[in-house]
Structure 1
């Protein structure tokens, strides 16, 4: 279900999956029961600093929105699309007028709407069990 629901496109669990989203290997322990479901339904509740989206306005008025992948003090490199994380834009600090962390999550809402009730329960169980299909949560 983790793959079928496209979670693995962005998220990693036990070394498998994408790496642009949070590692979900400990999500079941960190967010028990309904709290895990709430974080999936409302992903902006908690956004770790490394996954935060920034709004950046340059001195010339142009704007960029993206996740910071590198900050060396002189420049900031962002990816504007998590679907293409290797496509980046480097912006020099002396050209940046404003850089503001946005209160949004890169994870869109509504990802569970295409799943049935049983599929949602299976997905939650899989995450809670850290991908271990032999875990007691499945019995």
Structure 2
């Protein structure tokens, strides 16, 4: 009886040691690389590059253990947009994804060393070859479009995290009523969705945002049958998948400089709190 009990305790101890070693050992580089590839293909569109957040939450938290992440990937999260990948990925692939996400929680993650460059951010913001570039809709110190508010004014005094949130995480949460989207029905039956601009007694300037860059139209008020507010915004909600993380940091640094007039230091830790998953203020 004593021998049986000793063997049982030995098995328990060995299991505990194995579990501790599994948690302590560094991520295997091949698994991390494979997991990153899977993440880009399946997860980045919602969670952003390196899990910085976008349509879905930021993937930075002490609770993101291998077991927790594996369970969420496998089973999904009922009641949310997070689906189950149990039938889409093999157990080995789910493990690779979990290992990659766990590697992002480490203080020596390569993303932690990134720093935003205002000059590079200016080039991204005014890139004439990109139809989703900031200047297409927004002005910055009077330079750019008029579909949305002047970002110099809108972002004055905002912390890097707040600027990042407005671009990437929740771009529609605090839409300016002056730039709200409306649907206009014309006499001929055409329906346009966009933002109302300047008006005269007889005409209304209208920014058709059904596609970017927006089309600038001058509508005769006599041709407008109805105009009503609609939900949503012309502001794209997928910049985290459109732009690399470095360029997102660059844009935040540039906007912070233009809004406050001081050269900022914008690093990964300024937009993502790697300790808890919450943004620093």
Given the two structures, how large is their TM-score scaled by the length of structure 1?
Answer: 0.72
Measured in 2, the distance between the counterparts of 1:23 and 1:122 equals 18
- How many aligned residue pairs are there? 137
Equivalent residue for 1:26? 153
Equivalent residue for 2:102? none
Superposition deviation, residue 54 in structure 1: 0.7
Q: Which is helix-richer, 1 or 2? A: 2
Greater shift in the superposed pair: 1-10 or 47-56: 1-10
1:109 is aligned, of 237, 240, 247, to: 237
Greater radius of gyration (CA): 2
Greater shift in the superposed pair: 126-135 or 106-115: 126-135
Equivalent residue for 2:271? none
Kept after mapping to 1: 8 A contact 2:185/2:192: yes
**Unmatched 5+ stretches in structure 1:** none
Q: Does 1:90 align with 2:219?
A: yes
**Unmatched 5+ stretches in structure 2:** 1-120, 126-132, 268-281
Q: Does 1:3 align with 2:123?
A: yes
Kept after mapping to 2: 8 A contact 1:8/1:16: yes
Q: Which is strand-richer, 1 or 2? A: 1
Kept after mapping to 2: 8 A contact 1:126/1:132: no
| Greater relative CO, 1 or 2 (CA 8 Å, sep 6+) | 1
User: Superposition RMSD on alpha carbons, in Å?
Assistant: 3.1
Measured in 2, the distance between the counterparts of 1:69 and 1:79 equals 7
Greater shift in the superposed pair: 70-79 or 44-53: 70-79
Superposition deviation, residue 75 in structure 1: 4.9
Kept after mapping to 2: 8 A contact 1:27/1:36: no
* CA 1:117–1:111: 2 relative to 1, 3 Å: closer
Q: Does 1:53 align with 2:181?
A: yes
Q: Does 1:126 align with 2:262?
A: no
Partner SS state of residue 29, structure 1: coil
* CA 1:98–1:111: 2 relative to 1, 3 Å: same
